[in-house]
Amino acid sequence: MEDYERISDSERVSIAENFIRDAPPGEFNEVFNDVRVLLDADNLLKTEANKAFAAYDTDQFTPCKVNNAEHSVLITKHGRLDGSRFYDPSSKQQFHYDHLRKEASDVEPWHGHDSTESWRLSVEQVMREYIAAHYPDGNLTVYSQLSTSDEPTKVVICIEDHQFQPHNFWNGRWRSEWTVSFNPSNADEPAVLSGALKLQVHYYEDGNVQLVSNKDIEAIEVNANDPESLAKGVQKSVKAAETKYQTAINENYEKMSTTAFKSLRRQLPITRTKIDWNKIVSYKVGKDLKS
């Protein structure tokens, strides 16, 4: 047997982190358990790979239930305070988030940005109506960011919706992030809206197929005379952009179903009947017993 060089602990952790970051939506636990067996070092996994857990949750916009909050809050980079502490701008609370258990604890009051709260709240109220009408299991978190001498005031909208159906061998998640930049002191200056849309679906019944799609939305001007007009303009633009993108995805998927996917393999074997794999296994077992 040829000698081989054993990889270092840091290399093992790096490999484990890549697996975790690439886990399909709704399948973190399955990937974590597999990686745990491969790495065979719980201390390394829980201490050194913790950054990968956090990166996965913030990238996936993982929803989290927080005590005394009416709505779930999304775990995103915009809500991180320090380490594993995040805040919920809607319920005005901060909390510690366990990236392994996917749970919030140590909940405390959080004092928001009062100067931009009226703008943020108007956008959140209108966007919640949009989410309720178009995303059956949707979640929303709206953040406000204070302006500086070099940058305008910003409102960031994070949207997440998912369908996890492991019994049907598929899971999927929709994510969209919208940033509204505006100048509250100048009503004549329009706000600028830009967005990033992400869709990821994993099918794994008798195979392994992933659909991963991304689209960036260029700057859209929105009326910013007051919080109410800004919110209505943002909702109208977001709805138009997301509807157009989702329609294009559906049309492309239907086209691929009758072209590319169909050409990957025969729908039926040459005998024109489906193979009963259970019977084939039993035939082989019977043959082995006879011999």
Residues 118 and 244 in one domain: yes
Q: Which domain holds residue 64?
A: 9-109
Residues 162 and 206 in one domain: yes
User: What is the reported pTM?
Assistant: 0.84
Count of helices and strands (H, E) across the chain: 8, 11
Lowest-confidence segment of 30-34, 150-154, 195-199, 247-251 by average pLDDT: 150-154
Last residue of a domain, one of 88, 109, 130: 109
Residues 154 and 94 in one domain: no
pLDDT in tens, 131-154: 999 999 999 999 998 766 667 899
Q: How far apart are the first and last CA of the chain?
A: 34
The predicted pLDDT at position 277 comes to 67
Q: Strand ranges (DSSP E) for 125-187?
A: 139-145, 153-165, 170-182
Question: 212 pairs with which residues across the strands?
Answer: 200
Cα 263 to chain centroid distance, Å, stands at: 31
Residues 150 and 243 in one domain: yes
Residues 148 and 162 in one domain: yes
